C-alpha cells in the first residue's frame, strides 16, 4: 500500500492520569464489600451509563489522503444507565433517548430497591455529576442504598 502512496493512519484516545495510591485505598474499601456480597450479606452493584451514538467510528484506514466519510450527526443516541451485580452479573437497565439526569438515576435507584428488596444495596458509581447531586444522595439514603464513588478516588479532579 505504501508503494502506491497510502499511509496507515490510526485513531487514538487521550488517557486520564490515575492516582495509584488512591486506587489502592479504594481497593481496600472495595474488597470488604465484595466479601459481604459473596457471603450474601449485601448486593454489590457497579453502575454507569452507556451512550450509544448513531455515527461512524473508524479505527485504521488505508488511504492516499485523510478521508472523511459521511456520517449521521451523532445527535441521535440511546442512553442506557445500567447496574451490574458484581456477583451474579445480572444487569438492570433503564433506557431513554433523551439525556441521563439525576431523575434517571433516581428511577434506577427505585428499580434496584424493588428488585433487591430487603437486602442492603451498595452501588459503585463513576464521577458523573448527576449521580452525586443532593437529590440522588437523598433518595439513596431514603431507600437505604450506599453509594461509593470510584472515579472520584482514582482520578485527580
pLDDT of residue 77 exceeding 80, the answer is no
- Note whether residue 33 is domain-resident: yes
pLDDT given for residue 154 in this prediction: 43
- Note whether residue 66 is domain-resident: no
Q: How confident is the model at residue 52 (pLDDT cuts 50, 70, 90)?
A: confident
**0.75 exceeded by the pTM?**
no
62-67: long-range pairs with CB below 8 Å, 24+: 62/1, 62/6, 62/7, 62/8, 63/6, 63/7, 63/9, 64/4, 64/5, 64/6, 66/9
- How many independent structural domains does the chain possess? 1
pLDDT tens, residue by residue, 8-21: 777 665 456 667 78
- Note whether residue 84 is domain-resident: yes
- Note whether residue 3 is domain-resident: no
pLDDT of residue 63 exceeding 60, the answer is yes
Domain with 104 in it: 17-54+77-154
Of 40 and 26, the one with more pLDDT:
40
- Note whether residue 44 is domain-resident: yes
Mean pLDDT score of the chain, rounded to an integer?
A: 82
pLDDT of residue 66 exceeding 70, the answer is yes
- Note whether residue 7 is domain-resident: no
Give the CATH number for residue 89: 3.30.420.10
- Note whether residue 146 is domain-resident: yes
- Note whether residue 21 is domain-resident: yes
Task: Look up residue 135 and give its DSSP letter.
Answer: H
Q: What DSSP string runs through 85-96?
A: ETTT--EEE--B
Q: What DSSP string runs through 10-71?
A: E----PPPB-HHHHHHHHHHHHHHHHHHHTTSSEEEEEEEEEEESS----EEEESS------
Of 3 and 32, the one with more pLDDT:
32
The predicted model gives 32-53 an average pLDDT of: 91
pLDDT tens, residue by residue, 97-156: 888 889 999 999 999 999 999 999 999 998 788 888 899 999 999 999 999 886 544 443
Amino acid at each position: 500500500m505504501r508503494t502506491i502512496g497510502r499511509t496507515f493512519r490510526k485513531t487514538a484516545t487521550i488517557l486520564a492520569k490515575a492516582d495509584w495510591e488512591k486506587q489502592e485505598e479504594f481497593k481496600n474499601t472495595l474488597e470488604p464489600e465484595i466479601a459481604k456480597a459473596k457471603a450474601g450479606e449485601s448486593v454489590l452493584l457497579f453502575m454507569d451509563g452507556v451512550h450509544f451514538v448513531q455515527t461512524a467510528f473508524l479505527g485504521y484506514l488505508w488511504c492516499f489522503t485523510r478521508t472523511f466519510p459521511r456520517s449521521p450527526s451523532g445527535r441521535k443516541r440511546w442512553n442506557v444507565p445500567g447496574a451490574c451485580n458484581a456477583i451474579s452479573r445480572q444487569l438492570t437497565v433503564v433506557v431513554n433517548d433523551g439525556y441521563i439526569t439525576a431523575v434517571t438515576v433516581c428511577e434506577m435507584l427505585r428499580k434496584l430497591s424493588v428488585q433487591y428488596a430487603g437486602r442492603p444495596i451498595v452501588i459503585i458509581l463513576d464521577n458523573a455529576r448527576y449521580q452525586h447531586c443532593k437529590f440522588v444522595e437523598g433518595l439513596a439514603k431514603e431507600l437505604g442504598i450506599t453509594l461509593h464513588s470510584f472515579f472520584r478516588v482514582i482520578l485527580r479532579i
